[in-house]
Amino acid sequence: MRLVAKFLYGLYAAVLFTVLGLFSILIMTLLPDLERRRMLARGVSRTFLRLAGMSLTVVGLERLPDGPCILVANHASYLDGLVFTAALPPRFGFVVKREMATVPLAGFLLNRIGSQFMARGQAHQTTRDARRVMRTAVNGESLVFFPEGTFSEEPGLLKFHLGAFAAAQRAGCPVVPAIIHGSRAALPPGGTLPSPAALHIEILEPVRPSSSGSGAVPALCRLARNAILGRLQEPDREAA
């Protein structure tokens, strides 16, 4: 009975996600204003979590700077972007892997809320995307990065890529470390159907570029990563 109930819940959550996604596509096609599209995405994400029985608590929102910043967080599940969309003010855009642009439903929605797509493993495209993301940061937009770039079935914090921190250094804006708890339990890597789980986001004190030169970006990365690792309660898998 427990397995049947879990399957039925997962099926319900998947159908709910699809229905809300189709509704979002319809409305976002009509909305010309980026801020309104992001507000819609925030509302739809919150509605999904509430109707799916996934409680969301957020602490530390008052630590977000009033001006532009770059938020970096651990990555544990495909739900992470949706959860942060529900939690953060609509002034934040997301930096996501370029492969997501070709996913029919997700790609359209991500594009309509102003996401920045970043290639991996293609030197030419990666360089072009990195420059565009840096220009976006320099122009004053707040961005969300998952600097691990991926997630794995084994819990733990992977090595951080430096793109988020290079953008922050170039823009002269603070980096805000954040931690998401519970998304791995809600939709594990490799899982197809979600499970009910309590979700919790913790926003930590911003760290700021404090030096210049070749070591500035790695130093900023270490500060943010150590802050996340200290609160994550998962092993350090930087060498993995």
Q: What is the pLDDT of residue 100?
A: 84
Give the tokens for residue 128: 């072009």
The CATH architecture annotation of domain 2-237 reads 3-Layer(aba) Sandwich (3.40)
Q: Given this model, what pLDDT does residue 58 score?
A: 98
Q: Is the pTM of the predicted complex or chain greater than 0.85? A: yes
CA distance 86 to 93: 12
Q: What does 166-222 look like in DSSP terms, one character per residue?
A: HHHHHHT--EEEEEEESHHHHS-TT-SS-----EEEEE---B-----STTHHHHHHH
3-state secondary structure of 58: strand
Q: Do residues 34 and 114 make contact, with C-beta atoms less than 8 angstroms apart?
A: yes
pLDDT of residue 131: 82
CA distance 108 to 127: 23
Q: Exposed, middle or buried by CB within 10 Å (0-12, 13-18, 19+), for 162?
A: middle
Q: Could you list the pLDDT tens digit for every one of the 240 residues in the chain?
A: 788 888 899 999 999 999 999 999 999 999 999 999 999 999 999 999 999 999 999 999 999 999 999 999 999 999 999 999 999 999 999 998 888 888 878 888 999 999 988 876 655 666 777 788 888 887 888 999 999 988 888 999 999 999 899 889 988 899 999 999 999 999 988 877 898 999 999 999 999 887 777 789 999 999 999 999 999 989 999 977
Please give the Cα distance from 81 to 186 (Å, whole number): 13
- Distance between alpha carbon 111 and the CA centroid of its chain, in Å? 15
